Amino acid sequence: MRPEAAPPILLVHGAWHGAWCWERQFAPWLRERGHQVETLNLPGHGGKPGPQRIGYPSVREYADAVEAAVARSPRPVVVAGHSMGGFTVQKLMERRPANLAGAVLVAAAPPRGVINVVLHLLRTRPLELLRAVAGMDLYYLVREPRFAQALFYSSGLDARTVEEYWRPMTNESFRAFLDMIFLDLPRPRRADPALPKWVIGGELDVIFPPDIVHGTAKAYGVEARLYPGMAHNLMLDKGWEQVAAEFSDWVCGIGAAQRS
């Protein structure tokens, strides 16, 4: 199927990020190939970068925003969510919206929650984690480019580019963080088993490493696709072009299957 005839695509960002992370290169590449692509800023995101608090929106509110965007489309939509955005897409899948054509979980927070992230930060950056929790201020975890490098990118991405990608980052909702730990975990059994799903991750991801990506894929009855040499931010890290190309092929493939 030609990209122009494939289902439209909605790209959902993760924590500390905004629509900008897709718009740097991934979304424009897909549009140039012929896909209809929309990105959105989740509630509280897309404003002034830096440590300013964004309020306390919940994952439910994030899912409401994504569901509203899906409902506005004249055709069924493939929704791809990265990290916290992938967690949000899983909550959307529980609702089984009629206009959902497929779901892509990109280095997504797993249905069992993000306690592994807390443990990783406790081992590697305990002081920043304690400050973030004590002040309910998650910007502590990304307040310098070197922290973003360690969390989101492989060594293949140069420091200047990492800093460029760090500058637009914002604070994150502590309420959403708690939702992802234990307050509002996804229930994969509530998702439509017939809905096309694709679960992908980076082999070098320290936030959601391969075993977690495989676990998420298993929970939804699919096989995981892992990208060698890539870390958490698959849409920005070195090698993103391969991810975009395979993403395009997958969307075209499910579009063809739905028409046959």
Burial class (CB in 10 A: 0-12, 13-18, 19+), 51: middle
Please give the tally of structural domains in the chain.
1
Please compute, for residue 168, the number of CA atoms within 13 A of its CA located in the half-sphere on the CB side.
17
Which residue bears the tokens 């977690």?
Answer: 212
Residues 129 and 119 sit within 8 Å (Cβ to Cβ): no
- E strands, 64-180, are 77-82, 100-106
| Listed residue (32, 33, 41, 34) closest to 11, CA to CA | 41
The rounded radius of gyration (Å) of the Cα atoms in the chain is: 17
Partners of 78 in the β-ladder: 9, 102
Please tell me the predicted confidence (pLDDT) of residue 191.
Answer: 98
Question: pLDDT-derived band of residue 137, with 50, 70 and 90 as boundaries?
Answer: very high
Is 40 within 8 Å of 65 (Cβ atoms)?
A: yes
pLDDT above 90 for 1? no
d(CA 32, CA 176): 34
State the pLDDT at residue 259.
72
C-alpha to C-alpha distances, 234 to 58, 106, 132, 153, nearest whole angstrom = 25, 7, 25, 8
Question: What tens digit of pLDDT does each residue of 17-53 get?
Answer: 999 999 999 999 999 999 999 999 999 999 999 999 9
Cα separation, 150 vs 78, whole angstroms: 30
pLDDT (0 to 100) of residue 257: 78
Stretch (H or E) spanning 219: helix 210-219
CATH number of the domain enclosing 220: 3.40.50.1820
The number of helices, as runs of H, and strands, as runs of E, in the chain is 11, 6
Predicted pLDDT at 256:
74
Q: What is the pLDDT of residue 260?
A: 64
Position 138, amino acid: L
Residues 49-106 have pLDDT tens digits of 999 999 999 999 999 999 999 999 999 999 999 999 999 999 999 999 999 999 999 9
Question: Is pLDDT at 255 greater than 80 in this prediction?
Answer: no
- Report CA-CA distances (Å) from 98 to 71, 78, 93, 186: 8, 12, 10, 19
- The range of the structural domain enclosing residue 213 comes to 3-259
Percent of the chain with pLDDT over 70: 100
* pLDDT per residue as tens digits for the range 197-222: 999 999 999 999 999 999 999 999 99
